[in-house]
Amino acid sequence: MLAVSHTAVQDLAQQLRDQLAGKVVVDISNPLTADFTGLPISGHTSAAEEPATLIPDSHVVKAFNTTFAGTLVEGHVAGQSLDVLIAGDDRAAITAIVELANAGGLRGIDAGSLERARRLEGLGFLGTQLQFTQNTNFTSTWKFLV
């Protein structure tokens, strides 16, 4: 799991390139501007896609960025288990993270290719912004109902 600031991910990916080869690498970051008012990345890439180009022998997935740390610790919001949206280009990597989420009492949902990380990061940004306007103190979550 890459649990570092978005600005540190590329340097870290370059440093750990050999150690990460063949491994599933989970990018959980939400790239935000310093003042939390925007995304510093264009809509043509994502915080997950950028390091994926630096560690091509790894299987990068985007996951856990649409759930807040406190809600992950609790495992639920308002009695509902958390949904973990997962995007990646390697089917086995996505399956592994879906199983990891499910084993933790969460619900892993395959959100599609790594390109979808762009949308997941937008959703993470929107969720962050709503914390301020709805005064939920980072205790809310997104839920996919079927």
pLDDT per residue over 11-43, tens digit each?
899 999 999 999 999 999 888 888 888 888 877
Look at residues 34, 59, 58, 32 and name the one whose alpha carbon lies nearest to residue 121.
32
Q: In Å, what is the CA distance from 21 to each residue of 9, 18, 25, 63, 64?
A: 16, 5, 9, 19, 22
pLDDT per residue over 71-94, tens digit each?
999 999 999 999 999 999 999 999
What pLDDT, on a 0 to 100 scale, did the predictor assign at position 3?
Answer: 75
Residues with Cβ < 8 Å from 95, sequence gap 6 or more?
Answer: none
What pLDDT, on a 0 to 100 scale, did the predictor assign at position 9?
Answer: 84
Structural domains of the chain ordered from first start: 6-134 (3.40.50.720)
Rounded distance between C-alpha atoms, residue 100 and residue 40, angstroms: 30
pLDDT mean across residues, the chain: 93
pLDDT per residue over 43-77, tens digit each?
799 999 999 999 999 999 999 999 999 999 999 99
What pLDDT, on a 0 to 100 scale, did the predictor assign at position 84?
Answer: 98
Strand duo 83-88 + 59-62: pairing: antiparallel
Neighbours of 126 (CB within 10 A): 11
pLDDT per residue over 95-141, tens digit each?
999 999 999 999 999 999 999 999 999 999 999 999 999 999 999 99
SS3 content of the chain, % helix, strand, coil (to 5): 40, 15, 40
pLDDT tops 90 at residue 10: no
Place of tokens 């301020």: 132
